[in-house]
Structure 1
């Protein structure tokens, strides 16, 4: 008895408009190929009406691997169960979290070091004390105004 199968061709992806998965209609195990050719020719444009790129007819059995259903040793369809390796996934996520946290701490420490260096360069120590160089020598001072003007303390 003749079989009808569909052989999917590679999908055509388009930037605009719908994607298309072209296919070929495969008819195999045909006993009388001439009658099938006559049937296919009867309605003109059958291939186009079906949307197939081609219709292939064979008198022998043709196996299309994508259409095969795997079977177990008893001949029943094989059921495949896929389970994720969540322990490995969990470990990968934890490693990424630790790396991100370390990077944040490194950046935070670099920012604090930068602030500390900037304060030391401008004379501001952690105590808030600054010294201003005067002709009489270094004198304690303070930061005044938003533009950090310096004036000696009296």
Structure 2
């Protein structure tokens, strides 16, 4: 049966794709059968022109093109006693299908070993992160992730409640202008309607609560 092969040619500077020649070998010598192939090749014009080939070469004999040899890729389809030569480190080595099977098994084993190493490394990294988080939360590092999430949520809620309480205190001891002086609303018992104070006016910067809040804020910022 006739075979079709492609022989690639050196690419020129003006070629937009690699040039090639279509090779047809093992053409039957029987005149009638050859006419059938010739008719197929010449139907609708020249086959080379239609395919973009530089030429079509037809042979009765078998023509083996080295670039089309796939023997080295057959692997397990070769008989057990078959062998072919490969080069490793510049040295020729005889290679058999069983060698290829062993090589593929070794490659797969190495891949699985690498995956196990990566998993172990990720587990160590996760354990270190967990230890750092539990230490920051002040809980036992043996706690599970559910307990860690619960502790983090509780801490966030506590911080929110503390911030709301501080805001209420700041509002009570807020500064207010009175007779050209900035005084504390709460400590001076300031009467907004009468613009008077029930207590002796206390300068805002002398308010103990305000000074404590400023110190608390500074301490909080340092912790952050």
Q: Which TM-score band applies after superposition, normalised by the shorter structure?
A: 0.3 to 0.5
Query: TM-score normalised to the size of structure 2?
Result: 0.30
Pair member with larger Rg: 2
User: TM (normalized to structure 1)?
Assistant: 0.42
1 or 2, which has the higher strand percentage? 1
**Higher RCO (Cα < 8 Å, 6 or more apart):** 1
